[in-house]
Structure 1
Amino acid sequence: MSEVGFAVVGVRNFASSYLNNIEELEQEGKIKLTAVVVNDQVNNADKVRELRHKGIAIFNSYESLLKEAKPCVDVIGLPVSIPTHSEMAIKAMRAGYNVLLEKPPAPTVQEVDAMIKTEKETGRFCSIGFQYIHSHTIRKIKQFILEGKLGELKEIATKGLWPRTKSYYDRNDWAGKSVAMGQLVLDGPMHNAFAHYLNNMIFIAGSDIHSSATVKKVRAELYKAHTYIEADDNSCLELETTTGTKIYFYVTHVPEQKQDPIMEIVGSKGKITWQMNEKTKIELNDGQVIEFDNEGLDPKKEVFRIAADKQLGLIEHLYCTPTNTRNFVVAINAAYDSAKKIRTIPVAKVKEFTNEAGEYQTIMPGIDKLIGQAFKERKLLSDLDLDWTAKTEWVNVENYSGFNPFN
């Protein structure tokens, strides 16, 4: 069995985690880092020297990598800015490479469709880095449901509360933007930081182990509390699949206290509770309780292993693809269609200050309790009759083919 040669575009921000994961996985003898794109080799001189010392090819542009790296690269890793996802993935596949693309797949469903079309035309693959679709627990939960052990799948709900300081939004030129570089970004909590958890729910509701659920309709609300960003930072969504499962999602970047995502899955025979640390508890109506965790399997590394296994022909199906994440993008696009706009939360309800760590932070007093109530009651925030919210309409997406918020 030969090693799969991976290239990574970039060395900073999330690209550094790609480099670290590949380095750790090289010990398993299946994956090898063979090339890296470093556009700014002056400010990254130390990293360039380190990589070259290890025998890794350094390219000063993505174009030069595509033209020259065929002898040593099988899969190109793209931990790149959201607006460039589809364009860069398509270029790689057309140049004859397979792709590992960071989540989310793309801001619009038409971009995802273009990637799917390119896969078919080129015979190349594009694996999407939604790590929890590669996790032991999410796949075990889905198999449990597919075997009918939870009965009819009624509803799935997730909430997550993660603070984001100014440094988070200052880290690049697209963070906190709805549009950047002349392209859509939609950098809200549903589409970026918490994207995994919405995708988990849509995947779990799918009809087989490879598919996500087809979305029938969506209703969503998008709010903004940070005074210096344009994207939403406080959002909620409900959707219904074509098989009748209800999905609820509540996320914020302005909480008083950090709370990691927790998911509840309700079926006619019981309930499953899943936490971000992958501790899972199944409580069946007959009194049976089943508990399990990830058994030491790091889903972040599994993302790379599965792409390598596909490259080597060891598996037939990738776990996460443009095809089975398309419904996630439909849900995001429809959320914007439903909300119609990002509504600014009144300044009087927001507190901005420098915290003990010296970070400029924004919180919304009371939002933790409100999200907890909405999650428990399976309501959107406007259903709680809050004076700063606005009710939105359902959007039918059964034949959804394109998103254009500028119409």
Structure 2
Amino acid sequence: MRVALVGARGHGARHVENLLRLGHDGVATFVGVVDVADVDVPVPSYPDLPSLAAELHPEVVVVSSPPATRRDLVLEAFGLGCDVLVEKPAVLSVADFDEISAAAHDRGLVCQVGFQTQGTGSYRRLCSLIGSGALGDISGIGAAGRWVRTDSYYERAEWAGRQGEDGTLVNPFAHALQNALLLADVEERTDITVELELYRCRDTITADDTACVRVTSDGAPPVVVATTLCATTSLPPVVLVHGSLGQAVWWYDDDRLTVNDHRMAVAPPADLLENLIRHRQSGEPLVAPLAAARAFTSVVEQCGKADVPLLPARRVGDRVVLDGIDEVVVRAAEKVATFAELGCRFGR
């Protein structure tokens, strides 16, 4: 299938590499890119999608542009008759989510969201374990994200650190949130309750750099996700599934899963673009369909509207450290408890 890419810089560079790989393997034809800047790619570059489509006729468009631009680009791609793989977050509001969902349905097109960890073998194995009852009754799902980020992280793009487009749950630890919602089986539900605690340790940003969210829904286990970019040391993000017969620990970035301290064998990962192409060619189910991002989008929208108070923190060279947060985010995931419930001095 003929594939075009919108946004070839930043994370988009990974899509360039993947498209070249798929071209070499004969899976896809990488026809061109759209970018507002000059980019060094071995395919034609265009200033906008209609110009590219008029000459190159793509069948699939990969959207890896800044978050606030994605809604319009997805709708534009649909208008050209193209299926879409869009980076997360696909959109920033539930209204926009419903709009692009309806547009895809009306045109008979599909939209996959760039939650690549849903394609990992560890995710599929964990879903199987939960579904089979191997973990018993699930009492809660916790996730912890703990990274160190320097000032340059917020200088990489105009939208970085901007509330409504960025934030730990919206961008760097979006996978932690989405994975927890999926494992709780609430990803498509409209009746979720969201409790947010958002904070920032830099006065140069408006989005959070430290956060905790609890998501609950009738008949589903509670979800708590705690995150920070102001840690003393970075650790791989982790999802904990608390069951009556044991605990699963999933390091999704490493595609590693343990159950009761026993490492589980997992299948190879599935590439999201390859999966979308096979979906079109043979009906293979989508790995990360847009429909499965509804609850995530609801949390994203609320993150864009919530208060984000400034916390006192230590400046250490080109980074900021929030003392004690390293342990707190892990405890929140372990206890499925909010910052406030853990007695944090900054908890509400």
Which category describes the TM-score, using the shorter chain as reference length?
over 0.9
Q: Please say which structure displays the higher CA radius of gyration.
A: 1
- Change in CA separation of 1:267 and 1:157 when aligned onto 2, cut-off 3 Å: same
Match of 2:263, SS state, is strand
In 1, are the aligned partners of 2:141 and 2:336 still within 8 Å (CA)? no
Once the two structures are superposed, the pairs formed by residues 386-401 of structure 1 within 5 Å of their partners are 386-390=344-348
Match of 1:132, SS state, is helix
Deviations 1:81-128 (CA, angstroms, capped at 9, x unpaired): 111111110110111111110111211111111110001111111111
- Change in CA separation of 1:101 and 1:138 when aligned onto 2, cut-off 3 Å: same
Once the two structures are superposed, the pairs formed by residues 3-402 of structure 1 within 5 Å of their partners are 4-41=1-38, 44=39, 47-48=40-41, 51=42, 56-70=43-57, 73-178=58-163, 184-185=164-165, 187-206=166-185, 212=188, 215-276=191-252, 277-283=254-260, 291-295=263-267, 297-298=268-269, 302-312=271-281, 314-334=282-302, 340-346=306-312, 350-354=313-317, 360-390=318-348
Deviations 1:186-218 (CA, angstroms, capped at 9, x unpaired): x100010000111011112228xxx65665312
Match of 2:148, SS state, is coil
The corresponding residue for 1:393 is: none
Further displaced range: 323-332 or 249-258: 323-332
Deviations 1:26-52 (CA, angstroms, capped at 9, x unpaired): 3332122111123333xx3xx15xx1x
Deviations 1:211-245 (CA, angstroms, capped at 9, x unpaired): 65665312110000022111110000111133231
1:307, distance to aligned residue in structure 2 (A):
1.3
Measure the CA separation in 1 of the matches of 2:237 and 2:191. 22
Measure the CA separation in 1 of the matches of 2:218 and 2:301. 17
Measure the CA separation in 1 of the matches of 2:5 and 2:303. 32
Match of 1:256, SS state, is strand
Match of 1:168, SS state, is helix
Measure the CA separation in 2 of the matches of 1:110 and 1:214. 12
Q: C-alpha root-mean-square deviation of aligned residues, in Å?
A: 2.0
Measure the CA separation in 2 of the matches of 1:365 and 1:63. 50
Measure the CA separation in 2 of the matches of 1:147 and 1:212. 21
In 1, are the aligned partners of 2:200 and 2:210 still within 8 Å (CA)? yes
Match of 1:257, SS state, is strand
In 1, are the aligned partners of 2:225 and 2:332 still within 8 Å (CA)? no
Match of 1:107, SS state, is coil
Deviations 1:232-261 (CA, angstroms, capped at 9, x unpaired): 100001111332311110100100110111
In 2, are the aligned partners of 1:223 and 1:343 still within 8 Å (CA)? yes
Deviations 1:116-164 (CA, angstroms, capped at 9, x unpaired): 0001111111111100111111122112222232232221101010122
Q: Identity rate of aligned residues, in percent?
A: 23
Is there any run of 5+ residues in structure 1 with no aligned partner, and where?
A: 179-183, 284-288, 355-359, 391-407
In 1, are the aligned partners of 2:34 and 2:49 still within 8 Å (CA)? yes
TM-score of the two chains, using structure 1 as the length reference: 0.80
Match of 1:330, SS state, is helix
In 2, are the aligned partners of 1:76 and 1:99 still within 8 Å (CA)? yes
Measure the CA separation in 2 of the matches of 1:202 and 1:167. 31
Is there any run of 5+ residues in structure 2 with no aligned partner, and where?
A: none
Measure the CA separation in 2 of the matches of 1:156 and 1:65. 44
Measure the CA separation in 1 of the matches of 2:231 and 2:146. 6
Measure the CA separation in 2 of the matches of 1:39 and 1:374. 42
Measure the CA separation in 1 of the matches of 2:47 and 2:230. 39
